[in-house]
Amino acid sequence: MRHEVIKGIREYFDSHGFILVDTPIFTPSACEGTSTLFEVNYFDEEKVYLAQSAQLYSEAAIMAFGKTYAFGPTFRAEKSKTRRHLTEFWMVEPEMAFADLEDVKRIGEELIISVVGRVLENRKEELKALEREVTKLEAIQAPFPRMSYDEAVFKLQSKGSEIQWGMDFGNTDETLLTDDLDRPVIIDRFPSAVKAFYFQPAPDRPEVALGADFIAPEGFGEVIGGGQRIHDLDLLLQRLEEHNLPASEFEWYLDLRRYGSVPHSGFGMGVERFVAWMCGLEHIRETIAFPRMLYRTRP
Distance, in Å, from the CA atom of 49 to the CA atom of 86, rounded to the nearest integer, reads 17
pLDDT at 109: 98
Closest CA to 226 of 92, 63, 73, 42: 92
pLDDT at 54: 96
Domain boundaries, the chain: 2-287
Helix (H, G, I), strand (E, B) or coil at 268: strand
pLDDT at 81: 82
pLDDT at 98: 98
Contact 91, 271 (CB under 8 A): yes
Q: Which residues of the chain have pLDDT under 70?
A: none
Closest CA to 99 of 88, 108, 112, 90: 108
pLDDT at 157: 97
Domain 2-287 CATH superfamily: Bira Bifunctional Protein; Domain 2 (3.30.930.10)
pLDDT at 227: 98
pLDDT at 22: 96
pLDDT at 11: 97
pLDDT at 209: 98
pLDDT at 9: 98
pLDDT at 79: 86
pLDDT at 275: 97
Bridge-partner residues for 283, per DSSP?
A: none
Per-residue model confidence as pLDDT tens digits over 224-236: 999 999 999 999 9
Phi/psi region, residue 215 (left: phi>0; alpha: psi -120 to 50; beta: rest), is: beta
Is cis: bond before 191, omega within 30 of 0?
Answer: no
pLDDT at 134: 95
pLDDT at 279: 96
